[in-house]
């Protein structure tokens, strides 16, 4: 029997949990034993009693919690947690290991096999394991709602006896999962939506949701991998920024989602552009955790610069913890069931999902992309 420990999240203001009671119950039926840290689900409104009703054990001591075979978290484990893990055990969480050299070293010292939910290959048969997509869907929705809450006007066209209210104009940068959900949400609220993306293949998706795609000359030269831009030239960025400069002046709400895998997010909205925007308009910088797409955004803060409200919330999924935890729990349990059999972990090292998500194993860094980034840093 494989024993799983669900650790309480230690990140500040984090309200998600790695496993929900209903998913824990399903895993228990499949032969796993589930141990849950006391109050691990409180932020998502899942009580210890709800886990016990599902058949899970509530850990009454640190020793009980850290005697398991597998440790599940949403966010990166702390160095103290890794030091307490059973040697040779398995850790599964969002990891972004190419930014965590000390953690990689700590895993290797204790021969912990670490799987990164953010490194699960974005292929069709792994869709149910894709935590980046599930959490980005929630974040894209919440970004629009957060922007709407701060915007001093309504989204839809409204005809009244006192006159007509024109619809809000929403400008979205990036048509990945988060951007597409933002488009759909803004359109449902009645806004006029324009979208810019470096990947020309997203045009059809944008238009299918009712958005207007803003094409940038030279976009067909941009290299992408796994849904992310891998290389964007200075010349292309200049063309994109010129287009933004023209459009941003009229926007009521701007949402930026642009990420570059393994690198700092590109600056798309300069201070000059912010100055050109209308007083009371809003920017939601969804890339703030990776450096930000707006030059004036501040991580974890909502600020007003040049009359523009700039929201730098760095953990949007945590603001909707019930749904984001439900989706993440399905992602992590699906991966876990893929990796194991009745006898334990299968360790199919050449299998695409295993090879893509496994970062450290038996005291070594085995993930090629992570190794290449850490060697350059």
For 103-145, how does the pLDDT look when each residue is reduced to its tens digit (9 = 90+)? 999 999 999 999 999 999 999 999 999 999 999 999 999 999 9
> What mean pLDDT do residues 50-55 have?
98
Determine the pLDDT at residue 232. 64
Q: Is the pLDDT of residue 377 over 70?
A: no
Contacts of residue 197, defined as CB under 8 A and 6 or more positions apart, other chains included, come to 173, 174, 175, 176, 179, 203, 206, 213, 219
Determine the pLDDT at residue 228. 54
> Parallel, antiparallel, or unpaired: how do β-strands 282-285 and 308-311 relate?
parallel
If pLDDT is split at 50, 70 and 90, which confidence band does 376 have? confident
Determine the pLDDT at residue 242. 86
Q: Is the pLDDT of residue 335 over 70?
A: yes
Task: Output the 3-class SS for the chain.
Answer: CCEEEECCCCCCCCCCCCCCHHHHHHHHHCCCEEEEECCCCHHHCCCHHHHHHCCCEEECCHHHHCCCCEEECCCCCCHHHHHHCCCCCEEEECCCHHHCHHHHHHHHHCCCEEEEHHHCCCCHHHHHHCHHHHHHHHHHHHHHHHHHHHCCCCCCCEEECCEEECCCEEEEECCCHHHHHHHHHHHHCCCEEEEECCCHHHHHHHHHCCCEEECCCCHHHCEEECCEEEECCHHHHHHHHHHHHHHHCCCCEEEECCCECCCCCCCCECHHHHHHCCCCCEEEECCHHHCCCECCCCCCCEEEECCEEEECCCCHHHHCHHHHHHHHHHHHHHHHHHHEECCEECCCCCCHHHHHHEEEECCEECCHHHHHHHHHC
Q: How many CB atoms lie within 10 A of CB 33?
A: 16
Distance in angstroms (rounded) separating the CA atoms of residues 178 and 184: 10
> Parallel, antiparallel, or unpaired: how do β-strands 228-231 and 223-225 relate?
antiparallel
CA 305 to chain centre: 26
Q: Is the pLDDT of residue 266 over 70?
A: yes
Q: Is the pLDDT of residue 218 over 80?
A: no
Q: Is the pLDDT of residue 215 over 80?
A: yes
Residue 299's nearest CA partner among 315, 282, 283 is 315
Distance in angstroms (rounded) separating the CA atoms of residues 23 and 327: 10
Q: Is the pLDDT of residue 148 over 70?
A: yes
If pLDDT is split at 50, 70 and 90, which confidence band does 261 have? confident
Report whether 48 contacts 34 (CB < 8 A).
no
Counting residues of the chain whose pLDDT is more than 70, the rounded percentage is 96
Contacts of residue 138, defined as CB under 8 A and 6 or more positions apart, other chains included, come to 316, 317, 320, 323, 324, 327
> What mean pLDDT do residues 29-40 have?
97
> What mean pLDDT do residues 52-65 have?
96
Report whether 76 contacts 22 (CB < 8 A).
no
Distance in angstroms (rounded) separating the CA atoms of residues 86 and 232: 43
- The pLDDT tens digits for 296-317 are 999 999 999 999 999 999 999 9
CA distance readout (Å), 321 to 45, 255, 324: 8, 21, 5
Averaged pLDDT score across all residues of the chain: 93
Determine the pLDDT at residue 135. 98
> What mean pLDDT do residues 38-64 have?
97
Determine the pLDDT at residue 296. 97
CA distance readout (Å), 297 to 294, 304, 309: 5, 9, 9
Report whether 169 contacts 250 (CB < 8 A).
yes
Determine the pLDDT at residue 18. 98
If pLDDT is split at 50, 70 and 90, which confidence band does 231 have? low
Determine the pLDDT at residue 227. 52
CA 65 to chain centre: 27
Catalytic residue numbers, as ranges: 122, 127, 130, 133, 228
Q: Please give the angle made by the CA atoms of 217, 220 and 224, to the nearest 5 degrees.
A: 130
Exposed / middle / buried, residue 86 (Cβ in 10 Å: 0-12, 13-18, 19+): middle
> What mean pLDDT do residues 268-272 have?
94
């Amino acid at each position: 029997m494989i024993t799983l420990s669900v650790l309480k999240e230690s990140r500040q203001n984090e309200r998600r949990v790695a496993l929900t009671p209903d998913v824990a119950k399903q895993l228990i039926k499949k032969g796993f034993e589930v141990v849950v840290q006391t109050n691990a689900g409180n932020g998502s409104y899942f009580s210890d009693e709800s886990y016990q009703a599902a058949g899970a054990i509530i850990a009454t001591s640190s020793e009980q919690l850290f005697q398991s075979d597998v440790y599940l978290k949403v966010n990166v484990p702390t160095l103290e947690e890794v030091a307490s893990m059973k040697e040779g055990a398995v850790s599964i969480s969002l990891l972004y290991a190419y930014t965590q050299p000390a953690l990689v070293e700590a895993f290797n010292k204790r021969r912990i096999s670490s799987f990164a939910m953010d490194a699960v290959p974005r292929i069709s048969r792994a869709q149910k394991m894709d935590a980046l997509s599930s959490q980005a869907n929630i974040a894209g929705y919440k970004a629009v709602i957060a922007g709407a809450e701060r915007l001093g006007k309504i989204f839809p066209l409204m005809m009244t006896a006192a006159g007509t209210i024109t619809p809000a104009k929403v400008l979205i940068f990036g048509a990945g999962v988060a951007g597409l959900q933002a488009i759909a949400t803004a359109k449902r609220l009645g806004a006029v939506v324009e979208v810019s993306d470096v990947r020309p293949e997203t045009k059809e998706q944008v238009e299918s949701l009712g958005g207007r795609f803003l094409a940038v000359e030279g976009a067909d030269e941009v290299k992408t991998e796994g849904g992310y831009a891998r290389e964007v030239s200075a010349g292309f960025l200049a063309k994109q920024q010129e287009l933004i400069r023209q459009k941003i002046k009229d926007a009521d709400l701007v949402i930026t989602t642009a990420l570059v895998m393994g690198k700092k997010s590109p600056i798309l909205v300069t201070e000059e552009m912010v100055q050109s925007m209308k007083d009371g308009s809003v920017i939601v910088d969804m890339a703030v955790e990776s450096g930000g797409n707006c030059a004036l955004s501040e991580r974890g803060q909502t600020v007003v610069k040049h009359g523009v409200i700039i929201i730098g919330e760095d953990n949007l999924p945590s603001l909707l913890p019930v749904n984001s935890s439900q989706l993440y729990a399905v992602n992590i349990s699906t991966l876990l069931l893929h990796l194991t059999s009745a006898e334990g972990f299968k360790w199919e090292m050449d299998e695409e999902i295993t090879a893509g998500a496994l970062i450290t194993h038996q005291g070594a860094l085995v993930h090629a992309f992570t190794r290449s980034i850490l060697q350059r840093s």
